[in-house]
């Protein structure tokens, strides 16, 4: 259970950890944003971090996103980031609520999100999820598919706005291998930008590895347990429930 006081203290620690990692990498103090991953924790936990200045929250499961967005509809500027696996029969709900989707990994999902994004809302920010670890069970497109998917996403403007890339590395990897996976995502972003794109987001790094990810150029870290505490065992990050 997330204790409101504990989680705002933990939020401060995480913010400090990000600042330290940025300074150690010689990067600007505002070069990496914090996404608070609130999956499995109640709307009340989000409300108390909102009171502590946090605005961006990440959810993995569509129904949880729908329920919490309804409960927290009174909070201005709260930004919802959908970061979980997305099935095509759930895209409509996500397109109506989310400000960002980090887990676009195939054309069909991208096309549906673009078609279903309500026209009165701002463009939906999206990242392409790339499977940098090569694990067969992971979601994400293969690195070799990223360029074609990015080109397709750019054609889905203005309803979608392609911002960059996201990865969930193999959690069992040793630090050296982990760092290589983050570096691979950064290189892929550099390649896309050299091909003429203007992408500004590398969504990588979680509670256990955010400093490594920041050293490799992360511009957004997605942090859950280091803020809210341990989750009840459910499913591994990035896997379908
Ligand atoms: C759960 C989850 C996170 C947060 O993981 P922690 O280890 O709790 O920080 C980040 N990204 C994705 C995609 C997740 O599913």
| Alpha-carbon distance values, 96 to 43, 71, 73, 181 (Å) | 19, 15, 13, 32
The residue contributing the CA closest to ligand 1 atom 11 is 222
Pocket of ligand 1 (CB under 6 A): 37, 39, 60, 83, 168, 206-208, 222-226, 237-238
CA of residue 237 to ligand 1 center, whole Å: 6
131's CB contacts (< 8 A; 6+ apart) are 105, 138, 139, 140, 141, 142, 143, 167
Query: Which mutation among 17, 224, 227 tests ligand 1's pocket best, with the greatest number of atoms within 8 A of CB?
Result: 224
Which ligand 1 atom sits closest to the C-alpha of 222?
10
CA of residue 199 to ligand 1 center, whole Å: 23
pLDDT number for residue 188: 98
The residue contributing the CA closest to ligand 1 atom 5 is 224
Tell me if 216 sits within 8 A of 29, measured CB to CB.
Answer: no
The residue contributing the CA closest to ligand 1 atom 12 is 237
Q: Which residue has the tokens 């504990």?
A: 6
pLDDT tens column, 139-167: 899 999 999 999 999 999 999 999 999 99
Q: Is residue 134 very low, low, confident or very high in pLDDT (cuts 50, 70, 90)?
A: confident
Mean pLDDT computed over 111-121:
98
Whether 237 shows a pLDDT value over 60: the answer reads no
Whether 89 shows a pLDDT value over 60: the answer reads yes
Query: Which mutation among 60, 100, 127, 131 tests ligand 1's pocket best, with the greatest number of atoms within 8 A of CB?
Result: 60
Query: Judging by DSSP bridges, how do beta strands 33-37 and 220-223 pair with one another?
Result: parallel
Q: Is residue 171 very low, low, confident or very high in pLDDT (cuts 50, 70, 90)?
A: confident
Q: Is residue 191 very low, low, confident or very high in pLDDT (cuts 50, 70, 90)?
A: very high
pLDDT number for residue 37: 98
pLDDT tens column, 37-70: 999 999 999 999 999 999 999 999 999 999 999 9
Query: Which mutation among 17, 37, 60 tests ligand 1's pocket best, with the greatest number of atoms within 8 A of CB?
Result: 37
Query: Judging by DSSP bridges, how do beta strands 56-59 and 79-82 pair with one another?
Result: parallel
Of 36-50, 162-176, 223-237, where does mean pLDDT reach its minimum? 223-237
Tell me if 197 sits within 8 A of 154, measured CB to CB.
Answer: yes
CA of residue 228 to ligand 1 center, whole Å: 11
Whether 96 shows a pLDDT value over 80: the answer reads yes
* Rounded-to-integer distance, Cα 131 and Cα 143, Å: 7
């Amino acid at each position: 259970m997330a204790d409101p006081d504990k989680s705002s203290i933990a939020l401060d620690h995480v913010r400090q950890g990000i600042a330290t990692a940025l300074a150690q990498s010689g990067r600007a103090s505002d070069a990496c944003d914090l996404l608070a991953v609130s999956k499995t924790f109640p709307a009340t936990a989000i409300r108390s971090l909102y009171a502590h200045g946090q605005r961006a929250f990440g959810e993995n499961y569509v129904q949880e996103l729908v329920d919490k967005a309804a409960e927290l509809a009174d909070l201005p500027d709260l930004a919802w980031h959908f970061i979980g696996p997305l099935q095509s029969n759930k895209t409509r709900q996500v397109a109506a609520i989310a400000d960002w989707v980090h887990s676009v990994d195939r054309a069909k999902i991208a096309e549906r999100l673009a078609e279903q994004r309500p026209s009165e809302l701002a463009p939906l920010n999206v990242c392409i999820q790339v499977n940098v670890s090569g694990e067969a069970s992971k979601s994400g497109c293969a690195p070799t598919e990223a360029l074609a998917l990015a080109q397709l996403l750019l054609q889905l403007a203005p309803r979608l706005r392609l911002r960059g890339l996201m990865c969930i590395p193999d959690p069992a990897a040793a630090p050296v291998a982990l760092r290589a996976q983050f570096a691979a995502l950064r290189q892929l972003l550099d390649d896309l930008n050299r091909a003429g794109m203007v992408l500004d987001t590398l969504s990588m790094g979680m509670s256990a590895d955010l400093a490594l990810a920041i050293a490799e150029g992360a511009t957004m870290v997605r942090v859950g347990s280091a803020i809210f505490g341990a989750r009840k065992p459910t499913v591994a990050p990035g896997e379908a429930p």
